[in-house]
A = this chain, B = another copy of it.
Amino acid sequence: MKIRNTRPTMDDVAEKAGVSQMTVSRVMNGKGYISEEVRSRVRSAAAEIGYVQNRLARGLRSEKTPLVAVVLPTLGNSVFNDVLSGITDALTQAGYRPVFGVTEYSEAKEDELVRDLLSWRPSGIVLTGLEHSDVTRAAIAAAGVRVAEIMDIDGTPISLAFGMSQIAAGHATAKHMLAQGHRRFAYAGSHSGRDLRAGKRLEGFRRTLRDAGATLLSENISSKPSSMMEGRRMTAEILSRPDRPDAIYYSNDDLATGGIMHCLSNGIRMPEDIALAGFNGLPFLEALPVGLTTVETPRYEMGKQAGKFLSMPETDLAEDAGRVVDLGFNLIAGQTC
């Protein structure tokens, strides 16, 4: 008996089935003409010796792979869990597979990551946001891969963007809070200001306040990752200042929930003593004792549509280039303002 220390190849299947390697290839990929008899002989030979195709060889030869690179800023936030879920669902349906990595909101890491992911010769890539370095842009252009940018639409996409206007979300929140009569605001965010989309929301928020003549007393950016506990700490700190705001805008629901916790623990009434607003519309908000005012975002849908776009059969990309798909958002007025 022949000793194999390597995994079976098409040649092994071919020998077993008494055909050529090319015939095996045709059977496996369902291309070209194959008689029923040979097809079944090859199939059973493959099953018998446990043949598993080698995608590396396939990808090398055919110069394309069913891979899609996915670049996310973090997995430490359930937002990106939903996005990744949408991407995975869409890709899986089309027989594609995601390979991914996280940038931790760092441009340098994005550059490195994109370069590394492109070395797998994926057929597409998902990027978060619209801001990317020239290095990344050049690498992507040279690779000739399809690109989907998600989350944000305030800017010019490389190819096609699936998201919502972060600026408009900030604007809508400010407008709502102003309508409730609040005038003195504070902002609380995290990630050392590297979260560009949070920055755009703040920009929209800030501008709307300015236009209304209201005051943004302080912009507080924590260097720690966003969490309820950090939101609680920041809120306590903000409210302890002499220059006390009557409303706080948080960069996301986790921080805002920490704010709610602080207020509940200290008998601070919402919205009478302080108004709060978050962002994302995470499911757990429904279970809180106080309904948080927030902006619900189509997270899963952004991922799903991006995945679908990237796994579509080759279509004319030129007509889509630079276009934006606005999936909108939904301001949910809760009890906190």
Number of copies: 2
- Is the C-beta of A284 less than 8 angstroms from some C-beta in chain B? yes
Known: A7-B142, A257-B284, A284-B257. A54 touches B60 (CB 8 A): yes
Q: Is A283 a contact partner of B228 (Cβ separation < 8 A)?
A: yes
- Is the C-beta of A29 less than 8 angstroms from some C-beta in chain B? no
Which residues of chain B are within 8 angstroms of A139 by Cβ–Cβ distance? 50, 52
Q: Is A119 a contact partner of B53 (Cβ separation < 8 A)?
A: yes
Q: How large is the interface on A (under 10, 10 to 19, 20 to 34, 35 or more residues)?
A: 35 or more
Which residues of chain B are within 8 angstroms of A129 by Cβ–Cβ distance? none
Q: Which of B57, B63, B85, B100 contacts A76 (CB 8 A)?
A: B85
* Minimum distance in angstroms from A59 CB to a CB of chain B: 4
Spot the interface stretch: A170-178, A194-202, A209-217, A286-294.
A286-294
Closest to A76 in B: B85
Which residues of chain B are within 8 angstroms of A50 by Cβ–Cβ distance? 138-139, 142
Closest to A74 in B: B85
* Minimum distance in angstroms from A144 CB to a CB of chain B: 8
Q: Which of B67, B81, B98, B101 contacts A78 (CB 8 A)?
A: B81
Which residues of chain B are within 8 angstroms of A98 by Cβ–Cβ distance? 99-100
Which residues of chain B are within 8 angstroms of A99 by Cβ–Cβ distance? 67, 97-99
Q: Is A92 a contact partner of B101 (Cβ separation < 8 A)?
A: yes
- Is the C-beta of A327 less than 8 angstroms from some C-beta in chain B? no
Which residues of chain B are within 8 angstroms of A117 by Cβ–Cβ distance? 97
* Minimum distance in angstroms from A11 CB to a CB of chain B: 15
Q: Which of B56, B59, B75, B289 contacts A81 (CB 8 A)?
A: B75
* Minimum distance in angstroms from A253 CB to a CB of chain B: 9
Q: Is B92 a contact partner of A102 (Cβ separation < 8 A)?
A: yes
Q: Is A56 a contact partner of B121 (Cβ separation < 8 A)?
A: yes
Q: In chain A, residues 256-298, which have Cβ atoms closer than 8 Å to a Cβ of chain B? A: 257-258, 260-261, 264, 282-284, 286-289
Which residues of chain B are within 8 angstroms of A121 by Cβ–Cβ distance? 54-56
In the bound complex, CA of A284 to CA of B256 (Å): 12
- Is the C-beta of A120 less than 8 angstroms from some C-beta in chain B? yes
Given contacts A56-B65, A75-B84, 8 further A-B contacts (CB under 8 A): A50-B139, A52-B115, A55-B56, A78-B78, A88-B100, A97-B101, A258-B287, A289-B289
Task: Please give the residue numbers on chain A whose beta carbons come within 8 Å of chain B beta carbons, in ascending order.
Answer: 6-7, 50, 52-57, 59-60, 63, 65, 67, 75-76, 78, 81, 84-85, 88, 92, 97-102, 115-121, 138-139, 142-144, 227-229, 257-258, 260-261, 264, 282-284, 286-289
User: Nearest 5 CB-CB pairs, A to B?
Assistant: A289-B289, A75-B85, A284-B284, A81-B81, A56-B60
